[in-house]
A and B are shown apart, each in its own frame.
Chain A
Amino acid sequence: MNFKLISLALIGVTLFFLVLLPFFGSPYSLVLLSNIFMYVVLTVTWVMFCGPTGYISLATSAFFGAGIYTAAVISFKVPLLLTVLVGALISFFLALIIGIVSLRLKGIYFAMFTFGFVELLLHFLLWYETNITGTTGRVVLTLSNQTVYYMMLALAFVTIVFTQYLNNSRYGMALKSIGENEMASEHIGIDTAKLKILTYCVSSSFVGACGVVMATRWTYVDPKIAFNPLYSFIPIFMAILGGARKLYGPILGAIVFTYLQEILTTRIPYYYMLFFGLLMVFVITFLPEGIVGIIDRRLKTKIN
Chain B
Amino acid sequence: MELLKVENLTKSFGGLLAIHKLSFIVKEGEILGLIGPNGAGKTTLFNLISGALKPDKGRIFFGDAKISGLRPHKICKMGISRTFQDVKVFPNMTVVENIALAATFARERIPTNEAQRLATDLLRFCGLIEVKNMLARDLSLVNQKRLEVARALATQPKLILLDEMMAGLNPTETLDAMRLVKAIRDRGCTVFIVEHVLRAIMNLCDRVMVLHYGEKIAEGTPEEVCSNPKVIEVYLGEKYAQN
Chain A residue, CB-CB nearest to B105: A189
User: Interface size (A, Cβ < 8 Å)?
Assistant: 18
Chain A residue, CB-CB nearest to B76: A189
Chain A 166-207 near chain B by CB (<8 Å), digits 1 or 0: 000010011011001101111111111100000000000000
Q: Which residues of the partner chain B approach A191 to less than 8 Å between Cβ atoms?
A: 71, 73
B10 CB within 8 Å of chain A: no
Q: Which residues of the partner chain A approach B152 to less than 8 Å between Cβ atoms?
A: 188
Could you tell me the distance in whole angstroms from the C-beta of B94 to the nearest C-beta in chain A? 11
Could you tell me the distance in whole angstroms from the C-beta of B43 to the nearest C-beta in chain A? 12
Question: Which B residues, 85 to 100, have Cβ-Cβ distances below 8 Å to chain A?
Answer: 88-93, 97
B154 CB within 8 Å of chain A: yes
The listed residue (B82, B89, B105) touching A174 by CB distance below 8 A is B105
A184 x B77 contact (CB < 8 A): no
B52 x A176 contact (CB < 8 A): no
SS class of chain A's interface: helix, strand, loop or mixed? helix
B200 CB within 8 Å of chain A: no
Q: Which residues of the partner chain B approach A173 to less than 8 Å between Cβ atoms?
A: 93, 97, 101
B73 x A184 contact (CB < 8 A): no
A189 x B97 contact (CB < 8 A): no
Q: Which residues of the partner chain B approach A183 to less than 8 Å between Cβ atoms?
A: 52, 72, 84, 88
A186 and B74 alpha carbons, distance in the complex (Å): 9
Count class of interface residues, chain B:
20 to 34
Chain A residue, CB-CB nearest to B50: A187
A185 and B89 alpha carbons, distance in the complex (Å): 9
The listed residue (A177, A189, A192) touching B90 by CB distance below 8 A is A177
A193 and B76 alpha carbons, distance in the complex (Å): 15
B73 x A189 contact (CB < 8 A): yes
Output the residue of A181, A187, A190 with the most chain B CB within 10 A.
A187
A180 x B105 contact (CB < 8 A): no
Chain A residue, CB-CB nearest to B99: A188
Knowing A186-B72, A188-B154, A189-B73, the reply to whether A170 touches B91 (Cβ < 8 A) is no
Could you tell me the distance in whole angstroms from the C-beta of B85 to the nearest C-beta in chain A? 12
B155 x A189 contact (CB < 8 A): yes
A186 x B154 contact (CB < 8 A): no
The listed residue (A174, A176, A181, A187) touching B72 by CB distance below 8 A is A187
B52 x A181 contact (CB < 8 A): no
B19 CB within 8 Å of chain A: no
Knowing A176-B90, A181-B90, the reply to whether A188 touches B97 (Cβ < 8 A) is no
Q: Which residues of B contact A (CB under 8 A)?
A: 50-52, 71-73, 76-77, 81-82, 84, 88-93, 97, 101-102, 104-107, 151-152, 154-155
List 27 interface pairs A-B (beta carbons < 8 Å), by A numbering.
Answer: A170-B104, A173-B97, A177-B101, A181-B90, A183-B84, A183-B88, A184-B89, A184-B151, A185-B90, A185-B101, A186-B52, A187-B50, A187-B76, A187-B82, A188-B73, A188-B76, A188-B101, A188-B102, A188-B151, A189-B73, A189-B76, A189-B77, A189-B102, A189-B155, A190-B73, A190-B105, A191-B73
